[in-house]
Amino acid sequence: MTLSEVKPGQTVKVVRLNGEGAVKRRIMDMGLTKGTEVAVRKIAPLGDPIELTVRGYELSIRKDEAAAIEVA
């Protein structure tokens, strides 16, 4: 399952980051690394962006970025 498929209110753990180069590096720089717990707070009405709680701070990412993050 990917982060883009998680419903608001659920908490998941990052299993793997897909993507290449700058995109993957940017996701990692935001704190989304393997083993990190992520809580999905809200999803915008049209599905983009997605608001997350990661390592104690709020983060908004695009749906295509969330689709590159595998979670369990």
Tell me the domain boundaries of the chain: 3-71
Once rounded to an integer, what is the mean pLDDT over residues 28-36?
92
Q: Provide the pLDDT confidence category of residue 19 given band limits of 50, 70 and 90.
A: confident
CB 71 within 8 A of CB 11: no
d(CA 46, CA 31): 25
> Is pLDDT above 90 for 35?
yes
d(CA 10, CA 61): 16
d(CA 45, CA 22): 28
The yes or no reply on domain 3-71 and CATH 2.30.30.90 is: yes
Helix ranges (H only) for the chain are: 21-29, 63-66
Q: Is the pTM of this model over 0.75?
A: yes
What pLDDT, on the 0 to 100 scale, is given for residue 23?
A: 86
Rg (CA), the chain: 11
> Is pLDDT above 90 for 20?
no
Mean pLDDT estimate for the chain: 93
